[in-house]
Each structure stands twice: as structure tokens, then as C-alpha cells.
Amino acid sequence: MSPALYGSGESGNGILSLDPRTKLLIFFSSMVLSTFCYNGQPFMMYCTVVCVLLALCGEVWFAVKCFLLIAVMEYIRYVMLSSGTGAPAVTGIILGIAMLFRYGIPPFLALALLIKTTRISKLIAALSAMRLPVFVIIPIAVLLRFIPTVREEWSGIRKAMAFRGISLEPGAILRAPGKTVEYMLIPLLFSCISVMEELAAASLARGLDAERKRTSYEAVKMTLPDYIVMLLFVGMAIYAATGVGW
């Protein structure tokens, strides 16, 4: 199996390696940014910094694509607000989509940083160092392994449907929704159940539920860049919560 199935992030091309606990703090700070995303300045600051961190951690092209998408959406929103022209209904729909995008993009970027640049073994070691209970660590480990595995399963289902001549175009799905459920959703659900059981069994086989303290090959240690990044994101969260911005 591909290593991607096991959520093995942390590209070897990166020049920066952040501790998983730092990335978790970035994720929690994204919740604050989502709550106060109507402020454009802290939103753009947050997205820019996370994209820079993604690039420094080795995900350069992903960071560039995300930043360009954010820039385009913000430009469209700015034009719609400043022009004041156009049909009110269309303007309202576009601005609504832009605001939904603002609500969703901070957690998405933070989760992408966590998943794409962190090995599961290192994350488990960091969670253990935080002295979190086992019933918290196991679901997190299974969930983060589950996401890339389901992606592979979905790719296999799409190929199987293509071999059988079943189209996944929106028009074909609307014309035959029953066939879509039968050939796409049901296999995916059964596959998800099987994958979850296998991943849970694998986690238990590795001794995650052992009462004794587990050892790990992964060395987790907070460094100076971690503290700088944590202070930066705490500051941005406070800045967003105070209601400052445009």
C-alpha cells in the first residue's frame, strides 16, 4: 500500500518542521478566525501565514493554489461590495458564497497543514506527551488515517464505475439518482465501515490502549520556531476577536 494511506505527511522537501502541538494550536486558532471572519484584515493575515507555513513545510504548490483561490475570492467580494451594481439577487448570492468560503477556509488550511505535513506516529507521540487519555488519542489517530484511505477507496470506486460505463456527470446523477446510490454511495459506505474496523484494530495492535506508558521512535520537542508561530497565531486570534479590521 502507498504510504499516503497511512497519512504519512511531512515532506522531505520542507525547510521547516513544526511540532504537531503547534499545528493543533493553529487549528484551534482557526476556529476563532472563522467566528470573526467578517474582518478582512485578520482573515487575510491568517491565510497568508498558513500558506507560507505550508510552503516552508514542503507543500509549495498546494500553498500557491490555496493562496490564489483565496485571493480570487476576496477580489470578487471586494469588487461586488465596492461597485454597487448588478442585480441584488445575484450580488447577494455571490456575497453569501464568499462569506461561506471565509467561514470554511481557515479550518481547512489548518487541517491541511496538520494532515499533509505530519506523520501519524509523530502526532501520536505529541498527543501522548500532552498526557491526553487513550480514548482521545485513538479516535484522532484512526480519523487521520481514515481520510487518505477513503480517498483511495473512492478512486477505486470511480474506476470501477467507469469500467461499467456509469457516468458521474451531474446530469447523469440527476437523471438516475437511484443508480448513483446503488453503485457509488453503498459501496463507499461499506468500504468506510471496513476501513474503520481495520484501522481501529491496527491501532489496538500497536498497543495504543496499553496501560503502561508507550515508547516511541519519534522525538517530539518544542523549538524556537514553534514558540514564535504559537505566539503569532495567538496574537492573530486575539486581534480577530477584538473586532479590528476592514
Q: Which 3-state string (H, E, C) describes 97-153?
A: HHHHHHHHHHHHHHHHHHHHCCCHHHHHHHHHHCCCCHHHHHHHHHHHHHHHHHHHH
27/222 Cα distance (integer angstroms):
17
Residue with cell 500500500: 1
How many helices (H) and strands (E) are present in the chain, helices listed first?
10, 0
pLDDT (average), residues 84-113 = 82
Pull the grid cell for residue 168.
Answer: 458521474
In Å, the largest CA–CA distance within the chain is 66
226 CB contacts (<8 Å, ≥6 apart)? 18, 19, 21, 22
Average model confidence (pLDDT) for the chain? 79
What's the confidence (pLDDT) of residue 5? Answer: 35
Q: What pLDDT sits at residue 2?
A: 40
Instruction: For residue range 124-179, list pLDDT tens digits in order.
Output: 888 888 888 877 877 777 777 777 777 788 888 878 877 777 777 777 677 777 77
Domain assignments of the chain as residue spans, ordered by start: 15-119+220-241, 132-205
Among 50-59, 112-121, 150-159, name the one with the lowest average pLDDT. Answer: 150-159
Cβ pair 221, 19 in contact under 8 A: yes
Most confident of 84-88, 129-133, 242-246: 129-133
**Stretch 29-47: mean pLDDT, rounded?**
81
pLDDT the model gives residue 39: 66
Choice between 223 and 243, residue whose per-residue pLDDT is larger: 223
**Where does the pLDDT of residue 1 fall: very low under 50, low under 70, confident under 90, or very high at 90 and above?**
very low
More confident residue, 234 or 197: 234
Residue written as grid cell 522525538? 219
Cα–Cα distance measured from residue 165 to residue 36, given in angstroms and rounded to the nearest whole number = 47
> How far apart, in whole angstroms, are the C-alpha atoms of residue 39 and residue 103?
11
CB 42, CB 36: distance < 8 Å:
yes
pLDDT at residue 122, rounded to an integer: 85
The pLDDT, as a whole number, for residue 38 is 66
Residue 116 near residue 59 (C-beta atoms within 8 A) = yes
Q: With the CA atoms of 201, 207, 211 and 217 taken in that order, what torsion angle do they form, in degrees rounded to the nearest 10? A: -150
Q: What's the CA gap between 27 and 50, in Å, rounded?
A: 10
